[in-house]
Amino acid sequence: MNSSADLLEYAGGFQVLEEEELKVALPLVLGVICLVGLAGNAMVVAVLMQDFRRGRSTMVNGLLLIWSCADLLLLLLCLPLRAVTYSKPTWSFGWLLCKSSDYFLHACLSAKSFTLAAVGHARYQHASNPQKSIHCKCQCVLTLACSIWSVALLLPIPHCLFSNIKSSGRGTSCVLEIPPYASNFMKAFGIAYPLAAYGIPMVFAMTCYIKALLLSKPKRNGTPNRRYEIRRVTIMLGGLSAAFAVMRLPDWVAWMWARHRKVGSPMPPVALLVLAQVVLFANCTVNPLVFLALSEDFKEGLRRLWPLARCRKARRGRADGQGAAAPTLGEKAESALAMGNSSAPHPRTLPTISGREDVIICRDVAQCIPPDVQHFWQDRKNATAPENNDPIPWERAENS
């Protein structure tokens, strides 16, 4: 890998797009992907968090929660920066973002790869022993998340070390510049990093899914049993892993091309770089769309979540109405003063919740009983109940 100026690789996004149509169309496409991905992954996180609160969480659900959070980080922190970078000819975000943009992007992608490998292993364990309890606690999910992200943040450190701002005749650019003393290290890194962050996790995940499918093969009698459900969920999660592997592949091809090409050979074409970035971020929308189309549990969670959101909104509206109708401190003081000045017991009025009408509240309950009600209860009190000592009243009723 050469460090001369004509062989530099742009970091933080391709910054020399010459087609004006591409400068406009690419940010728009990325913006649509961002909106769809944010809405979908937010729903996935809400449904999974609701399952945790209900005590119905599993190890796979906890790992899918980590995966959706990684997608949200990509969509919130990485995609907007790339979209703006593609629309500008120079880098205008400073030294810190130049150092951290590519680094954080690769950290999130590595976390997704490790999470998918863990999901495959969890599905294999469940298929091998379906009777075993698969419920997990929040502490277990937090431990897994910390372990996955610790490794994911360590692997792409060279992207942070060697990214720097470089000024040229075209303006300021954010590039990955390898010093001569680190060339041998980066050659080894260019081979080991793709294997550790992409190759080994994906091969491990697909191997686990294949073994889980073989273990959950339905019996020949065709009677429905638990193996069908295990097989269906395993196929869905295996498809998500395969989609991530395929949609991540163009970016790895461009990454390997830029680092292992010979001196004087061309850089990866702009079309490949643009396709790799669009497909890479589009993968963040696949997870919620697949769940919405194939997962009955996810659909049921959305049905439970929608009435809950409406109930909270109505409850908030009622609380606002109560706050608007509540009497002020001055009104309470005037009411208390009026009560203190009056010696005879008399009815007083208090505002109701609606604030439209007053309800008469009597301080002396005996004064508020109507005369006819008093006469009725007085007669009932003075009258004596007739004695009935007949031991067999049902025979008398039949003879009559």
Q: What is the CATH number of the domain that holds 83?
A: 1.20.1070.10
- Give the pLDDT band of residue 135 (cuts 50, 70, 90): low
Over residues 124-152, mean pLDDT = 83
Count the neighbouring beta carbons within 10 Å of the beta carbon of residue 71.
24
Q: Is the pLDDT of residue 353 over 60?
A: no
- Asked, for residue 183, whether it belongs to a domain, the answer is yes
Total-model pTM: 0.73
Task: Evaluate whether residue 399 is within a structural domain.
Answer: no
Q: Comparing 49-58, 177-186, 280-289, which segment has the lowest mean pLDDT?
A: 49-58
Mean pLDDT, to the nearest integer, of 3-27? Answer: 67
Domain count, the chain: 1
CA dihedral in degrees (112, 118, 124, 129; nearest 10)?
-140
The answer to whether residue 357 sits within a structural domain is no
Bridge-based pairing state of the strands 163-168 and 348-351:
unpaired
Evaluate whether residue 162 is within a structural domain.
Answer: yes
Comparison of pLDDT for 358 and 316, the residue scoring more:
316
To the nearest 5 percent, what fractions of the chain are helix, strand and coil?
A: 70, 5, 25
Check residue 52 and give its pLDDT.
81
Quote the CA–CA distance of 350 and 342 in Å, as a whole number: 16
The whole-chain average pLDDT of the chain stands at: 78
Is 125 inside any structural domain? yes
* Strand, helix or coil for residue 342: coil
Domain span at residue 289 reads 5-294
Q: Does the pLDDT value for residue 22 go beyond 90?
A: no
Model confidence at 230, pLDDT cuts 50, 70, 90, reads confident
15: amino acid identity, one letter: Q
Residue 177 pLDDT class (50, 70, 90 cuts): confident
In a domain, 364, yes or no: no
Q: Which residues contact 361 (CB under 8 A, 6 or more apart)?
A: 347, 348, 349, 350
Confidence tier at 301 by pLDDT (50, 70, 90): confident
pLDDT at 2 over 50: no
Of these ranges, 11-25, 131-145, 148-162, 177-191, the one predicted with the greatest mean pLDDT is 148-162
Domain presence at residue 44: yes
pLDDT of residue 5: 38
Does residue 339 form part of some domain?
Answer: no
Question: How many percent of the chain have pLDDT more than 70?
Answer: 69
Q: Which tens digits make up the pLDDT trace of 66-86?
A: 999 999 999 999 999 998 888
Token digits of residue 322 = 């109560």
